[in-house]
Amino acid sequence: MTEIGTLTTTPVRSPDAPPALGGLGLFTVLLGAALPLIDFFIVNVALPTMGQDLHASESVLELVIAGYGVSYAVLLVLGGRLGDLFGRRRLFIAGMAAFGLTSLACGLAPDAWTLVAARVAQGAASAAMLPQVLATIQSATAGQRRAKAMSLYGATAGLSMVAGQILGGVLVAADIAGTGWRSVFLVNVPVVILGLVLATRAVPETRSQHPEPIDGPGTVLLGVTLLALLAPLTEGRAAGWPLWTWLSLALFPVAATAFYLVERREDRAGRTPLVPPSLFAVTSLRRGLVMVVPFSIGFSGFMFVIAVGLQEGAGLGPVLAGLALAPMAVVFFVVSLCGPRLIARYGTRVVTAGGLIQSVGVALMALAAWRSWPDLSVWELAPGAAVAGAGQALQLPVLFRIILSEVPASRAGVGSGVMITTQQSALALGVATLGSLFLSLVPGHGMQYALVTTLLAQLAVIVLTTALSLRLPRTIS
């Protein structure tokens, strides 16, 4: 309010100004961002109990993870486009409601195959909800508020992935009302109800001012491309690498090339395809995505291997297997809050420092496993987990800000969809590659050798991400 003589004037928002995302609205969309990521990792420590209760084979249990991850990755970009077209708040609410219903279906599943089907549907619901979070932040914030919101998004994403595994162990062990592993899904229902109430009150509606129609051919080709790669890699080892897995892998480069050619043709014709190749002309987006891939592969592979190794190898129960990562979660949260100030002072070289710190943490965890097996305790893993968490906190939130920093608001939905699809596909690849490496080494070399070798493989991936960070723009616009 401004006083001029005896006149008092109050600033009035321009009717053309974008709606503002307030504190409660930001909390609500971040809650929506946390749920899908928590549910990707929450099942890791519940798999042994799930298999015993449902009499499920290893290959079917892998589908519980892969079915969710693949449907989620395949539909994410489409979810972003639908938000641009029909309204991001509307898609966010619809996706959250579907997520609650499919979580209930997972928790009540009478057999393993019903659970797999419900997980596929849950992944589709997540794909409708999650792209709207970043698109809403991009469209309804600006300046320092956007920088702060993006930092909080990155912190929420990283913390959710670790917290999901911790929460899964606690819920399985608590066996609330005899629900056992089912509680890891049923816990979503009251959270979703709260989220829906808040979303109707606090999340502004935004949409693209020039929405484009759905890119049917691009959607189909992207789905075929991701399925051709992810399906054989996630199921191949457990199924014994039958002929279909090799045919699927051979189809991948063909489908990827066809997808690129179709999208380039649409882009050059002045239309907006599902993934516009011109979007990759943005240097910050392109280089940030290149770094997100190995980071996410290493992270998800690490989380899966730790969950299985600590329970089936070191003899820790689900609670201790989850709590082994508590130092990582706590330190990640604390350090990520310092991210904006560090970026303002040192630029994106903070990401490089984060990679170096994370490599020290993973090396400490590998050393602990090598020295103390099979009597590996949570306390011996804690120093390495804490250091690794600090390193991750200096990378992931910053990368999200870098990737979307120069994407126009009109393409916020497409940009966020491309980023999350890349991250989610890499998370699924991490379980498929590092997870398969670990499980293939166990029969012939034992759990200790498999765990240490896989941690060293992740260390090599971290070295790659650190090297790639040197090519990031020095500052974030």
Q: Per residue in 312-325, pLDDT tens? A: 777 777 778 778 88
Q: Per residue in 259-310, pLDDT tens? A: 999 999 988 887 778 788 888 888 888 888 999 999 989 888 888 888 888 8
The identity of residue 438, as a single letter, is F
Closest listed residue to residue 447, CA positions, set 383, 369, 394, 382: 369
d(CA 252, CA 416): 24
Q: What is the pLDDT of residue 412?
A: 67
Q: What is the pLDDT of residue 1?
A: 42
Q: What is the pLDDT of residue 272?
A: 75
d(CA 1, CA 8): 7
Mean pLDDT over 238-263 rounds to 92
pTM over 0.85? The answer is: no
d(CA 150, CA 146): 6
196 pLDDT above the threshold of 90? yes
Residue with tokens 């992935």: 161
Give the other-Cβ count within 10 Å of 399's Cβ: 25
Q: Per residue in 401-420, pLDDT tens? A: 888 788 776 676 677 778 88
Q: Per residue in 70-101, pLDDT tens? A: 888 888 878 888 888 888 999 999 999 999 99
Q: What is the pLDDT of residue 90?
A: 93
Q: What is the pLDDT of residue 18?
A: 58
Q: In sequence order, what are the residues at sequence separation of 6 or more whose Cβ sits closer than 8 angstroms to the Cβ of residue 372? A: 380
Q: Measuring CA to CA, how many Å separate 245 from each of 225, 237, 241, 248, 249?
A: 14, 10, 6, 5, 6
User: How much of the chain exceeds pLDDT 90, in percent?
Assistant: 32
Residue 33 tokens, joined: 């961002």
**Is residue 17 very low, low, confident or very high in pLDDT (cuts 50, 70, 90)?**
low
Closest listed residue to residue 333, CA positions, set 343, 322, 325: 325
Q: What is the pLDDT of residue 477?
A: 63
d(CA 34, CA 68): 15
